Structure 1
Amino acid sequence: MEVVLEMTLPRDAESAPLVRHTLDASLRGLGVTSEIRADISLALGEACANAIQHAAAGEYEVRARMDGARCVVEVIDGGGAGPASCETRHAPRDRRQAVWDERQASPNAESGRGLQLIRAFMEEVRIMDRVSRNGAIVHFEKTLAS
């Protein structure tokens, strides 16, 4: 069985719990363990918080696909204060990805650890610029079997 979720959400704090609970209910229905669901929920919450805080558009999107073996999630924002300065925004794609990859919050920072948490709990993580519009896509994947 494959479950696909696609949601367009307002850029406000109430939208993140809604999408987390919706995805969690789908994963629970597929029989995914609570530990794996918690990892995915944490990563999703961090990606949504980033879109809510930094995107310039009034909405963001979440797409998730679960097939019983793997969960693939994309959080897509409409642009805003991304990782790149003006010089790197027009740099080759490899350089822009490197800027995302280099971002790390200091150990004493009160915020900015979202990408580090996503990378710690997910198996595959990519942050990409949107091709035809402003914004970024946070893509992450996790195996559903423990």
Structure 2
Amino acid sequence: MEVVLEMTLPRNAESAPLVRHTLDASLRGLGVASEIRADIALALGEACANVIQHAANGMEYEVRARMDGVRCVVEVIDGGTADGVGVAVAGDEAEVAGGWESALTAPLAEHGRGLQLIRAFTEELHIADRVHREGAIVHFEKSLAS
């Protein structure tokens, strides 16, 4: 069975718990273990928080998730450029892409660890500028096997 979620959300703090709970309910319905659901929720929360806090343009953002019983693929898409320089992360390589926090944040820094957390709790992380519109896409994947 494949489950696909697509949500367009207002760029405010109240939207992040809604999308986390919606995705978690879908994963729970597929029988995914609580530890894996927690990892995905943490990664999703960090990606949403980054868009809510830093995207300079656009009043909305999108979340797309696809679960097939084997893998969960999530994309968080912001509606505009962010207010700082960021990185696109693919494996261990980092390159500049508008709008996402630095991957080289100090371990004790109060802010800026979102990408490190997403990378730690998922198997893949890619961040890229949108092709024909302003904004960025954060894409992460997680195996659903325990």
Q: TM class, shorter-chain normalised?
A: 0.7 to 0.9
Deviation at 1:105, TM superposition (A): 1.3
Q: Name the TM-score, length of structure 2 as normaliser.
A: 0.87
User: Aligned partners of 2:30, 2:44: CA distance in 1, in Å?
Assistant: 18
Letter matched to residue 120 of structure 1: A
Structure 2 counterpart of 1:41, one-letter code: A
2:95 is matched with: 98
Aligned equivalent of 1:91 = none
| Match status 1:16 vs 2:13 | no
Please say if 1:40 is aligned against 2:40.
yes
Per the alignment, residue 128 of structure 1 pairs with 128
Higher percent of residues as strand: 2
Contact 1:83 1:103 in 2 (8 A): no
Deviation (angstroms), 1:107 = 1.8
Deviations 1:45-101 (A, max 9, x none): 0000001011121000000000000000000001222425xxx9xxxxxxxx51259
Distance 2:104 2:33 in 1: 30
State the match for 1:83 in structure 2: 85
RMSD: 1.7
SS in 2 for 1:9: strand
Q: Find the residue that maps to 1:142 and give its secondary structure.
A: strand
How many angstroms apart in 2 are the aligned matches of 1:104 and 1:9?
29
> Which runs of no fewer than 5 residues in structure 1 stay unpaired?
89-96
Taking the aligned partners of 1:73 and 1:99, their CA distance within structure 2 comes to 21
Higher helix share: 1
For residues 50 and 15 of structure 1, what CA distance do their matches in structure 2 show? 13
2:138 equivalent to 1:143: no
* Structure 1 residue 108, shift from structure 2 partner: 2.2
Percent pairwise identity: 78
* TM-score normalised to structure 1 length: 0.87
